[in-house]
Amino acid sequence: MQQETLISRAVEYIRSLFEGNSDGHDFDHSMRVYRTAMVIADTEPACDRQTVALAALLHDTDDAKLFATEHNENARKFLAKEKISEEAADRICAAINAVSFSKNRGKRPETLEAMIVQDADRLDAIGAVGIARTFAYGGKHSRSLDASIQHFDDKLLLLKDLMNTPKAREMAGERHRFMEQFICEWQKETGQ
C-alpha cells in the first residue's frame, strides 16, 4: 500500500512537471516506459522493483531538451520530499542517467535496474509507438516524411540488438518485425 501511494505520487509529480508540454507526449511516454519496465521487472526476480518503478517514472524529468536542470535536480526534489534515503536516490538517479542514448552511447548500464529501464525506454522508440513518435517528432521539427523514414535505418532498426534483458529482446523482436513490415509497405506504395 505504502509502495502504491509512493508510485501514484510520482505519477502526479511527472504529470504536473510535463504539463506545460503542448502535446502531453512526455507524460504518456514516461507512463508507457514505466508499464513496460514493470513487465520486464516481472521476469527479473533479482531486481529492486521500487528502483525500477521510480527510475522509469522519473527518467525524463531532467531531460536537457525539456528542462534546464542539472544533477537530476527534478528527480531528486521528488525523492527528497518522499524521504527516500540518499543511497536509494543515488541508485535511482544512476539508473536514470544510464538510460540516455546520447549520454550513454554504446555503454551497457551497470545495474540490472538501469538495464531494465533502458530496455523499456528503447522499446518505446520502436514498434507501432515508435513509428507514431517518429512522425510526430518529424512533424514538430518540420522534417519531411522521407527524412523520418531515414531515421528507421539510422537508429530504430538497430535497437533490437541493443536490449539488455531476455524479455525485452523478445518484445523488441515483435516490434522490429512490425517496423520492417511498415517500411516494406511504405516502399511498395511510394515506389522506392
Q: Which is nearer to Ni ion, 4 or 94 (CB)?
A: 94
Considering only 13, 121, 149, 152, the residue that binds Ni ion (CB under 5 A) is 121
Q: How many residues bind Ni ion (CB under 5 A)?
A: 2
One-letter amino acid at 30 equals S
Pull the grid cell for residue 186: 511504405
Dig out the grid coordinates for 156 from the structure. Answer: 530504430
Among the listed ranges 88-96, 116-124, 139-147, 173-181, the one in contact with Ni ion (CB under 5 A) is: 116-124
Nearest-approach distance from CB 127 to Ni ion, in angstroms: 15
Cβ of residue 112: shortest distance to Ni ion, in angstroms?
Answer: 19
Round to whole Å and give the CA distance between 151 and 131. 10
* Nearest-angstrom CA–CA distance, 30 and 14: 8
The interaxial angle of helices 166-190 and 112-123, nearest 10 deg, is 20
Nearest-angstrom CA–CA distance, 30 and 163? 18
Write down the least CB distance from residue 29 to Ni ion, Å: 6
Q: Which of residues 44-83 bind Ni ion (CB under 5 A)?
A: 60
Q: Which residues bind Ni ion (CB under 5 A)?
A: 60, 121
